Amino acid sequence: MINSPPNCADINEPGLLHLDLAKQAIQDAMPVLQESQQIPIEQAKGRCLATSIISPVQVPGHTNSAVDGYALHGSDLPTENTTTSLTIQATVLAGEFYTETCQSGHCIRIMTGAAIPADLDTVIMQEHCEVTRNVISIDARHKKGQNVRQAGEDIHLDAIVLQVGKLLCPADIGLLASLGITEIKVKRKLRIAIASTGNEIYSIASAIPEGGLYDSNRYCLQAALDRPDIEIINLGIIQDNESELLKRFNEAADYADIIISTGGVSVGEADFTKQVLQTSGDINFWKVAMKPGRPIAFGKIKHSIFFGLPGNPVAVLVTLYQLVLPALEKMLGITDKPIAPLIKARSLEAMRKKPGRTEIQRGIVSQTETGELQVKTTGKQGSGILSSISMANAFIILTHDRDRIEKGDWVDVQLFSGLF
């Protein structure tokens, strides 16, 4: 009988690290950037807030009307089963202030957002009034204080409105503008060097010989990492040559916070990336109990964090989103961001699965007329079939201990809309 070495087909291969333990090990090893930069709020979407924002004003700045209507004294409201007529004393538009006293039995025509005169406390929506020349009539359906937005009811002066670690979204930018804030401090951009390795890999602009492949991995990485808080350094294609890899990675480590390469982390005779990491840096682990993505090297070269991802393109994206992206956000100091939760969907087909590793398949999630989520795979799930992820809208997460999935079983899915 042939005595073969451990390989990716072995469920119980020695040295395989459980996916959850790999995620935790990476998180524990990631430093947090301390450097920040001052930028205009127009450039702040997608950046991580470096200091909490304290409101310099109250919002709204003045008590104002929530509707177009008529401001009046609450004491002038009619009692049950009666009506009241009030004389229109003046009109106040948004941006105007009316300083004269409004007498009892009178009201002020007022527009949405306009400041309510200090002696008035109630606004009646114009649709609820009968107007005859300069007199309105109202019934008893109304309550004192209605349709009034109090000064400071949204944000108090000196309140913390945005916490450090917030990944800023469009609403946050609008909030900053509403406070009159023009510039803020954010974490500086993360510098990430990316490279593809392999003698069989060629630039998409060149002719390829028989047996060659166009380089898709760097383009996947570049697109996935195209974020406002990341600066990408493209190292191009590096040949499978130990001295060349050592030289290029060491050069990149002088200015990059993180180096991400693809290929060269398996056990082939020309897979040198892991060897380079052992020679020039520190290796934390290099085999994870997941499919696709088993061979992934994680460690350091000089002061740079290093991720050596598999060479197959689907495995590149799976490991990037499952392992690398959370690590990047830890380094950026992001503590408050939209989540991509696991949700349940009913499988429309049977799926083969053995306990002992997490399998991440590519799926298409849809919704039934009753609102139930369902999912099917995109077909063949080989880690080299990039179309399997291009057609998908979700990952199907088959957990470590799970066995075969039957049609109709519930499975965990992770929608791309929360990731990509």
What is the average pLDDT across 138-160? 95
Do 208 and 301 lie in a common domain?
Answer: yes
What CATH code is carried by the domain that includes residue 47? 3.90.105.10
Please report which confidence band the pLDDT of residue 12 belongs to, taking 50, 70 and 90 as the band edges. low
Please report which confidence band the pLDDT of residue 266 belongs to, taking 50, 70 and 90 as the band edges. low
Q: Is the dihedral of CA 126, 129, 133, 135 positive or negative?
A: negative
Do 221 and 108 lie in a common domain?
Answer: no
Domain closes at, from 303, 331, 359: 331
Indicate if the pLDDT at residue 194 is higher than 90. yes
Question: Quick check: is 210 in a domain?
Answer: yes
Q: Which helix (H) or strand (E) holds 250?
A: helix 242-252
Do 102 and 162 lie in a common domain?
Answer: no
- Whether omega for the bond prior to residue 78 falls within 30 degrees of 0, making it cis, is no
The pLDDT assigned to 271 comes to 60
What CATH code is carried by the domain that includes residue 317? 3.40.980.10
Do 303 and 378 lie in a common domain?
Answer: no
What is the average pLDDT across 281-305? 86
Quickly count: other Cβ atoms within 10 Å of residue 14's Cβ: 7
The tens digit of pLDDT for each residue in 376-405 reads 999 999 998 999 999 999 999 999 999 999
- Cβ atoms of 260 and 298 within 8 Å: the answer is no
Please report which confidence band the pLDDT of residue 270 belongs to, taking 50, 70 and 90 as the band edges. very low
- Whether omega for the bond prior to residue 310 falls within 30 degrees of 0, making it cis, is no
Which burial class, exposed, middle or buried, applies to 208 when counting CB atoms under 10 A from its CB (0-12, 13-18, 19+)? Answer: middle
Please report which confidence band the pLDDT of residue 1 belongs to, taking 50, 70 and 90 as the band edges. very low
Which burial class, exposed, middle or buried, applies to 249 when counting CB atoms under 10 A from its CB (0-12, 13-18, 19+)? Answer: buried
- For every residue of 364-393, DSSP letters joined together read EEEE-TTS-EEEEE-S---TT-THHHHS-S
The percentage of residues in the chain with a pLDDT greater than 70, rounded to a whole number, is: 94
Do 207 and 317 lie in a common domain?
Answer: yes
The pLDDT assigned to 418 comes to 78
Indicate if the pLDDT at residue 296 is higher than 50. yes
The percentage of residues in the chain with a pLDDT greater than 90, rounded to a whole number, is: 79
Please report which confidence band the pLDDT of residue 297 belongs to, taking 50, 70 and 90 as the band edges. confident
The pLDDT assigned to 4 comes to 45
The tens digit of pLDDT for each residue in 343-361 reads 999 999 999 998 999 999 9
Do 113 and 195 lie in a common domain?
Answer: no
More confident residue, 278 or 322: 322
The pLDDT assigned to 3 comes to 45
Please report which confidence band the pLDDT of residue 280 belongs to, taking 50, 70 and 90 as the band edges. low
Rg (CA), the chain: 31
What is the average pLDDT across 143-156? 95
The pLDDT assigned to 47 comes to 98
Please report which confidence band the pLDDT of residue 109 belongs to, taking 50, 70 and 90 as the band edges. very high
The pLDDT assigned to 103 comes to 93
- Cβ atoms of 398 and 358 within 8 Å: the answer is yes
Do 51 and 182 lie in a common domain?
Answer: yes
Which burial class, exposed, middle or buried, applies to 308 when counting CB atoms under 10 A from its CB (0-12, 13-18, 19+)? Answer: buried
Query: What average pLDDT is seen over the chain?
Result: 91
Tell me how many degrees the CA angle 226-379-343 measures, rounded to the nearest 5.
60
What is the average pLDDT across 107-113? 97
CA distance 276 to 259: 13
More confident residue, 231 or 211: 231
- Cβ atoms of 226 and 46 within 8 Å: the answer is no
CA distance 150 to 160: 19
Do 294 and 385 lie in a common domain?
Answer: no
Tally the domains of the chain.
4
Domain closes at, from 331, 362, 390: 331
Q: Are strands 17-18 and 281-291 parallel, antiparallel or unpaired?
A: parallel
Indicate if the pLDDT at residue 312 is higher than 70. yes
Indicate if the pLDDT at residue 13 is higher than 70. no
The tens digit of pLDDT for each residue in 204-213 reads 988 888 888 9
Do 119 and 161 lie in a common domain?
Answer: no
Domain span at residue 348? 343-418
Please report which confidence band the pLDDT of residue 281 belongs to, taking 50, 70 and 90 as the band edges. low
The pLDDT assigned to 263 comes to 86
Do 249 and 349 lie in a common domain?
Answer: no
Q: Which helix (H) or strand (E) holds 298?
A: strand 295-301
What CATH code is carried by the domain that includes residue 119? 2.170.190.11
The pLDDT assigned to 269 comes to 47
The pLDDT assigned to 189 comes to 98
The pLDDT assigned to 285 comes to 65
Indicate if the pLDDT at residue 5 is higher than 50. no
